[in-house]
Amino acid sequence: MNETAAPPFAAFATLAELGERSRRLLEALASAPAGAGELRIPDPDDIARTFEEAARRLAADPERVLRQQGQWCLEMADLWRYAMARAAGEVLEPVAVPEPGDRRFADAAWQEIPAFDFVRRAYLVTARRLRALYADLPGLDRHTQRKLDFYLRLYINAIAPSNFLATNPVVLRRAAETEGRSLLQGLAHLLEDLESGGGRLRIRTTREDLFTLGVDLATTPGKVVFRNELMELIQYAPTTERVYRRPLLIVPPWINKYYILDLRPRNSFVRWVVDQGFTVFLISWVNPGPELAHKSFEDYLVEGPLAALDAVRTQVGGRAGCNILGYCIGGTLTACLLGWLAARGERRIGAATFLTTMTDFAEPGDLGVFIDDAQIARLEAQMERCGCLDATYMQTVFSLLRDNDLIWNFVVNNYLLGREPPPFDLLFWNADGTRMPCMMHRFYLRRFYLENRLVEPGGISLLGEPIDLGRITVPAYFLSTREDHIAPWRSCYHGARRFGGPVRFVLGRSGHIAGVVNPPASGKYGYWTHRRPPPDPDAFLARARRHEGSWWPDWVAWLRRRSGSPVPARDPEQGRLRPLEEAPGSYVRRRAEALPQP
């Protein structure tokens, strides 16, 4: 919609069109089945139970409530005095300053216009007192307290004045500048997202029409050289005349698609590794539908890295073995693979790399909010009805972990400001979700997250072999990131120390994705290392050496020493396996449409 001046009748026509679209959408929603088994995230019943329990604890401690109410009144009185003094031209110490990096109030209008400055600071005062009221409630178990903190944070972020038309000066200014057309465009965006979600709000976080796999993303040249029901194996074309003897097999997560490691040439981890002289193979997991509901975690082991190792051996020949790299849940599977090989006395792997990988799930961070018997049983019931977990579930969970960045930021941008979301390769990947087969995901949630069996020697058995991380003696490189909200670095650290071989632990800056996809040319973030990591992760951080820039060169120097002597480069078309198609292959292009509700 053009933001320049337009005849009045054009605005009326647009409004009439939006009204008709709204009517059709409401009629469709009214005629839709009730959906008694619909999986809502977060679960409203669980939220209600959590706050009911908190209310009981507060009722037993009225002094706590009165203390926080009194403190709120004092701080609001201070804020009122600050506002009056400012109106009189006096300068006082500011009340309730936003946290550094809080982009919600970054625009100068929040400070320059007294009314909005007052609204902003009143919100911050109230948020601070609410958090203090509910923090560390006596008698509340740890899991319920974690859920309470999480749900309270969602509520506090949701009621921020930046999220509403009447209390956001940036939105009001834009509406005035565009004579209201920004609000019409925002309503059009809202209806479009509701329509695309079939009545559920599917917030667009990027321009999905501007990216095409194999053209804009996942462009590193290569061939699909093997395929089964669960994965395609890609071998990338060499860019150097000679390569290291031992190839590298990458096992990405199947919660998302592999091309997070092969976005665009400037930030492609895969392309950079190939350019360093490695023969790179990568597993591209299928996006499963209900027809693969029976696939188990053992199937992912057999048809994933075990099948890939056999294919790599056939393709390159010889007995050089293979190095392996696992990312996130792909790293957890890689740890299970190494434990299985160790139990059988097989040495097929020379060295292993783990990127933001959890093997000790005792402290899963905010993801633990969604992990308990009742919530997993509810999730299992939904998966049994549909055959697999809808991709939108994990997408919503990950968005809730960073709700200001991944939800409210786009609510304001798309609906209140009426703007298109900017093109962003990482967020395009984030929206390109994958499903989880019922049997596999049930095992993963219960055995790993809920019961934390992997850290127990023999706590789980796969393909008839008990898994013991202590029997894994191959050299291992662990990369964790300090702001990771999916695989907390301290948990990764404890898991790494359970391995029986030499471990190099590296702690990077940023989060689960940006801290990993951090090419050297960016010059960002930095990382920490320690020659002899102590048992305690905080002691590691206190004594570790800080390095500037990307962790990639540190890792590749470590890997080179474990990759053998150079050999002539390996062309995927010259191997023993017949190429099936060009990279990125077919499996990665399967979009996860919403599953029909039973």
Give residue for tokens 């009194």.
Answer: 70
| pTM for this prediction | 0.92
Asked if pLDDT for residue 204 goes beyond 60, the answer is yes
Per-residue pLDDT, 598? 46
Asked if pLDDT for residue 317 goes beyond 90, the answer is no
Per-residue pLDDT, 8? 56
The proportion of the chain whose per-residue pLDDT surpasses 90, expressed as a percent, equals: 84
Which pLDDT tens digit goes with each residue over 161-201? 999 999 999 999 999 999 999 999 999 999 898 888 777 88
Structure confidence at residue 554 as a pLDDT band (50, 70, 90): very high
Q: Which of 23-37, 211-225, 369-383 has the lowest mean pLDDT?
A: 23-37
Per-residue pLDDT, 30? 61
Q: Cα separation of 190 and 187, whole Å?
A: 5
Residue 225's SS3 state is strand
Per-residue pLDDT, 595? 53
Which pLDDT tens digit goes with each residue over 450-508? 999 999 999 999 999 999 999 999 999 999 999 999 999 999 999 999 999 999 999 99
Q: Which distant-in-sequence residues (6+ apart) come within 8 Å of 156 by Cβ?
A: 127, 130, 131
Which pLDDT tens digit goes with each residue over 127-168? 999 999 999 999 999 999 999 999 999 999 999 999 999 999
Query: Tokens for 516?
Result: 């990993």
pLDDT higher for 37 or 75? 75
Query: Tokens for 56?
Result: 């009981």
Q: Report the half-sphere exposure of 226 (CA within 13 A, side-chain side).
A: 24
371 beta partners: none
437 beta partners: 388
Query: Tokens for 540?
Result: 């590691």
Residue 509's SS3 state is coil
Q: Could you confirm whether 328 is annotated as catalytic?
A: yes
Q: Are 471 and 343 in contact (CB under 8 A)?
A: yes
The mean per-residue pLDDT over the stretch 542-548 comes to 96
| Mean pLDDT of the residues in the chain | 92
Burial of 132: CB neighbours in 10 Å, binned 0-12, 13-18, 19+: middle
Which pLDDT tens digit goes with each residue over 386-395? 999 999 899 9
Query: Tokens for 123?
Result: 């919100």
Of the residues 322, 328, 386, 388, only one is catalytic, namely 328
Per-residue pLDDT, 31? 61
**How far is CA 162 from each of CA 153, 165, 222, 248, rounded to the nearest angstrom?**
15, 8, 46, 47
Asked if pLDDT for residue 416 goes beyond 80, the answer is yes
Per-residue pLDDT, 256? 93
Which residue ranges form the domains of the chain, and what is each CATH number? 40-167 (no CATH), 222-370+389-396+423-589 (3.40.50.1820)
